Structure 1
Amino acid sequence: MSKDQFDAAIGVVPPSTVDVEAVLDRERRRARVRRVANPWTAAGAGVAAVAAGVAVAFVPGAPAPALVPPAASKTPSENPCAVLPYPPQTGAPIPETSAAASSRLTAVLTAAVQQRLAAGTTLGPHEHGVYPKGVAHGPLEFFHVFSAPVPHESTCSGGEDYFTSSATTAKGERKGNLMAIVTRLGGNATPSTECTPPPERTEGSCHRRTGPHGETILESTVRQPGGPTMYRSEVTRPDGTGVILDAENVAGDAKRGGAPDMPSPPLSLTQLTEIALDPGLTLYP
């Protein structure tokens, strides 16, 4: 059978309805906020995104994603989205619309950060403040990231549900960045509550304590020798809100390594925790 006869026999192959770029963006976000013991795991391991039977493997340092054959499918009765890493959120539904919560959280965080930054420091937009694709948000402007879990054969994609914001800081040539996540507990952006060793080829510290109103506080530092430093404060509130605040001494993303843009992050661990404990930084005002 000739190629023309074969093409005529099978007909026209319908175009794919999968937005691969959207899947890649979603899985990159999930890699940044996934609840893992090692906050920099995404820098040292591949991230798999699956949609419509095609797996896209992120290989560190690779110029482009590599296509991988789909895994063997499960029986139709099994739902891959019913198990980890897609746990249900345990926090109650929030009492506000997403727009109202985003606006309120932005005002609270911006005021708290500006009170603590060194004099003369300015805030600018950050590369991670783009969502959905092509929609840029201002410095420390919260937005709601949401994607429903979507099962396909033996894999599950999506499952995001949290509020996040970010900003680049600058004082002269010294630049850094800040990132915040506010979420209902139980989802894939839930703060950690136990200390773990720092990632391989890094050094760091971790301290766990209880806050003034029963909050669980985890304060950690991760440093790449000769490279950037990340401070992280994770607060689990009794009302069902989880807060994660990061400060890094690079303008972009510390996970990429390279030389730091300032001696230390723009906010200290103590300052991050003070902000995370602000009563206004909650989903249940």
Structure 2
Amino acid sequence: MTHQVFDELIGTPPPSRVDVDGIVRRERRSRSARRLGGALAAVLALALAVGVRDRPGAAEVTPRASASSPTADTRFRLVFDTDETADATARRLGQELDRAMRKVAPGAVWFWMPDQPGEPRRPDGQAPTFSHRGRADLINGSSGLSYQGRRGALRLSISPEVHSDASSGPVSYYWACRMPPDVREDNRYHRVCEEATSPGGARMKIQTYTGKRQPTVQHLVVVQLPDNRTLELSVQNMVGVDESAVPAQPEAPLSREQVREIAVQIADQIKS
């Protein structure tokens, strides 16, 4: 993997805080003092330097270069051109999800929940492991989530905004809340939908599904990404696998607003 690709995946590190100009100035003052030859002159020079630096109220001189230094770009790209870059992208996505979760929902805990029957058990406390299965247009990961006594499931996926359909050609993600004329609402759920725009200007769709027959709750947020991709984050109050999943409590572990904020924070870290 090239250094450029790694830089794009992990982002640019913040600029150094070492005051190089200050170190050079202090070294020059020390050399000048030694060249004076007399002990008295050296002591006076040191006293003046210390007096100016330590005088109460004296302002610290900041190098002009630091004031004009650009802000480091810590965002990353979704790169899948090799198995190595795809794995690095998956790891970075997991790190961003964990970071956003700890910021929006401090104290939230991951716990193992299988994605399908027979899946090998992983230790609790680990953020979801994302899988791309060799595809550049699809990546997903899921985990159990516990927050303030509420438990449920979280799933994050990235998929194409416009994909090809063999029968009808290109098909775009449907951003409108009103269902298309040829699509009927699922009468098992009550759906609340909101069309929105992220602080960065990306299209968003926020939905909440509440079961009419069972006390199920799911918050679903979709955010538009660069390069013909969308990010979808779902949190629900169900625990278990497939048909064995049951509601853990009446509410999802995270609120609608928290799911929205986590999705936005992750999307803001992905660049073209």
Aligned-residue identity in percent: 20
Q: Cα distance 1:205–1:260, how it changes in 2: closer, same or farther (>3 A)?
A: same
Q: Could you tell me which residue of structure 2 aligns to residue 236 of structure 1?
A: 224
Partner secondary structure for residue 141 of structure 1: coil
> Aligned partners of 2:258, 2:172: CA distance in 1, in Å?
21
Counterpart of 2:176?
A: 194
Cα distance in 1, alignment partners of residues 175 and 218 from structure 2: 18
Deviation at 1:142, TM superposition (A): 1.5
Q: Give the superposition deviation at 1:208.
A: 0.6
Consecutive unaligned residues in structure 2, runs of 5 or more? 1-76, 165-170, 180-184
* 2:240/2:246 contact within 8 Å kept: no
2:253 corresponds to 1:266: yes
- In 1, Cα distance between the equivalents of 2:233 and 2:208? 12
Change (3 A) 1:183 1:259: closer
With 184-193 and 172-181 compared, the bigger mean Cα shift is at 184-193
**What SS does structure 2 have at the residue aligned with 1:143?**
coil
Once superposed, what is the RMSD of the aligned Cα atoms?
A: 3.5
In structure 2, the residue matched to 1:114 is 102
Relative distance call for 1:273 and 1:176 in structure 2 (3 A) is same
Q: Is the 8 A contact 1:145 1:164 kept in 2?
A: no
Q: Report the Cα distance in structure 2 between the residues aligned to 1:167 and 1:243, rounded to whole angstroms.
A: 17
- Pair 1:170-2:157 in alignment: no
Q: Which runs of 5+ in 1 are unaligned?
A: 1-91, 148-159
1:179 to 152, 155, 179: 155
Comparing 178-187 and 228-237, the one that deviates more: 178-187
Counterpart-to-counterpart distance in 2, 1:252 and 1:116: 25
Alignment check: 8 A CA contact 1:122 1:171 kept: yes
8 A Cα contact 1:221 1:231, kept in partner? yes
Which one of the candidate residues 266, 276, 282 is aligned to 2:263? Answer: 276
Q: Distance in 1 between matches of 2:235 and 2:90?
A: 20
- Quote the offset at 1:204 in angstroms: 1.6
Match of residue 87, structure 2, among 80, 99, 123: 99
Per-residue CA deviations over 1:140-188 (Å, capped at 9, x if unaligned) read 22221346xxxxxxxxxxxx84111111023586421110002343248
**SS of residue paired to 2:158:** strand
Q: Distance in 2 between matches of 1:217 and 1:252?
A: 29
Deviation at 1:212, TM superposition (A): 2.3
Instruction: Flag the 1:279–1:201 CA change in 2: closer, same or farther, 3 A.
Output: closer
Q: 1:212 to 1:139 in 2, by over 3 A?
A: closer
CA gap of 1:279–1:181, structure 2 versus 1, over 3 A, is closer
Deviation, structure 1 residue 271: 1.7
Deviations 1:186-228 (A, max 9, x none): 2489754122454112212111122222211000011112421
What is the TM-score when the length of structure 2 is the normalising length? 0.54
Residue 283 of structure 1 and its aligned partner are, at CA, apart by 5.3
Figure out how many residues of one structure are paired with residues of the other and give that number: 178
1:36-47 matches, within 5 Å, as: none
Mean Cα displacement is larger for which, 160-169 or 221-230? 160-169
| Partner-residue secondary structure (3-state), 1:168 | strand
Query: How far, CA to CA, are the matches of 2:120 and 2:268 in structure 1?
Result: 24
Pick aligned residue for 1:123 from 110, 118, 139: 110
Shift of 1:277: 1.7
Contact 2:200 2:268 in 1 (8 A): no
- In structure 1, how many angstroms separate the alpha carbons of the residues matched to 2:80 and 2:90? 12
| Residue 206 of structure 2, aligned match among 219, 227, 230 | 219
CA pair 262-106 structure 1, distance change in 2 beyond 3 A: same
Q: Distance in 2 between matches of 1:263 and 1:100?
A: 37
Quote how far apart the aligned CAs of 1:256 are: 4.5
Letter matched to residue 251 of structure 1: V
* Letter aligned with residue 157 of structure 2: I
**CA contact 1:221–1:232 (8 Å) conserved in 2:** yes
